[in-house]
Amino acid sequence: MHEDKKSFSVAIDGPSGAGKSTIAKLCAEKLGFLYVDTGAIYRTVGLAALEAGIASKDEAGVAALLPKLDISMDHDGDGLQRMLLGGRDVTSDIRKPEVSIYASDVSAMPPVRAYLLEMQRRLAREHNVIMDGRDIGTVVLPDADLKIFLTADAGERAQRRYDELLIRGIATSYDDVLRDILYRDENDSKRSISPLKQAEDAVLVDTTGNTLEKSFSIICRMIEENMNK
Ligand code: DC
């Protein structure tokens, strides 16, 4: 780690279901870093809009809601990031499929991105972080110490997300999950503001066909090597 820097930051970007959050959380636990799941923050804004009865693409409506929001996060002893909306724990609610679509839609709105930018940067200033999202290496932390772009084949990402939802007891079908993944890939990559895109200086890691353990060990090793540079 550079001696003149207070914190070390790792940016992990990539499409939905590539395994970013699972791997980032495990590596953060192993290395003693704070894990920040930025998708969960966008999901919390999406949930707030859904609950307020605002259409997912109503930018003026969502922008008017932002100043009224009270969003915060907490970390469990086991590193799980809990999201609070007005003090209410919404960690499970934000994983529902309808909230995924809302999160993707509201995340394309410039006022939403501006609102969340400083929150994310502050966390990286104050802690050693592994932060995952879509634009962490390109926009949020352009000077991150290590940038990783994690991806996998869409069918495999859908299968992993489907298995995860089943474990959480959320009823859905593989076809619905694949359709959501493809919708969000398109939405997240084609939007004009902060699209999902590999930063020029990011390392590409394709996890298709990998076990979770294999991807975890590749990423952790990469982080450790960079910390010792
Ligand atoms: O990572 P996730 O699936 O929980 O993210 C939910 C949505 O939030 C996703 O469709 C895109 C958006 N998002 C974003 O635009 N920028 C980020 N840094 C993280 C997520």
Which residue's C-alpha comes closest to atom 18 of ligand 1?
133
Residues within 6 Å of ligand 1 by CB: 16, 38-39, 42-43, 103-104, 107, 133-136, 184, 188
Closest atom of ligand 1 to 187 CA is 10
With a cut of 80, say whether residue 4 has pLDDT above it: no
Distance CA 175, CA 223 (A): 35
Cβ-contact 141, 131 below 8 angstroms: yes
Read off the pLDDT band of 5 (50, 70, 90): low
* Tokens linked to 154: 């869409």
CATH class belonging to 9-227:
alpha beta
pLDDT in tens, 108-145: 999 999 999 999 999 999 999 999 999 999 999 999 99
Read off the pLDDT band of 228 (50, 70, 90): confident
pLDDT in tens, 146-167: 999 999 999 999 999 999 889 9
With a cut of 80, say whether residue 71 has pLDDT above it: yes
Read off the pLDDT band of 77 (50, 70, 90): confident
Closest atom of ligand 1 to 120 CA is 18
pLDDT in tens, 178-226: 999 999 899 889 989 989 999 999 999 999 999 999 999 999 999 999 9
The terminus-to-terminus CA distance of the chain in angstroms comes to 7
- Residue 2 is predicted with a pLDDT of 47
What spacing in Å lies between the alpha carbon of 5 and ligand 1's midpoint?
28
Predicted TM-score (pTM) of the model is 0.90
Beta partners for residue 72, in sequence order? 84
Closest atom of ligand 1 to 107 CA is 15
User: Structural domain boundaries of the chain?
Assistant: 9-227
What spacing in Å lies between the alpha carbon of 2 and ligand 1's midpoint?
30
With a cut of 90, say whether residue 97 has pLDDT above it: no
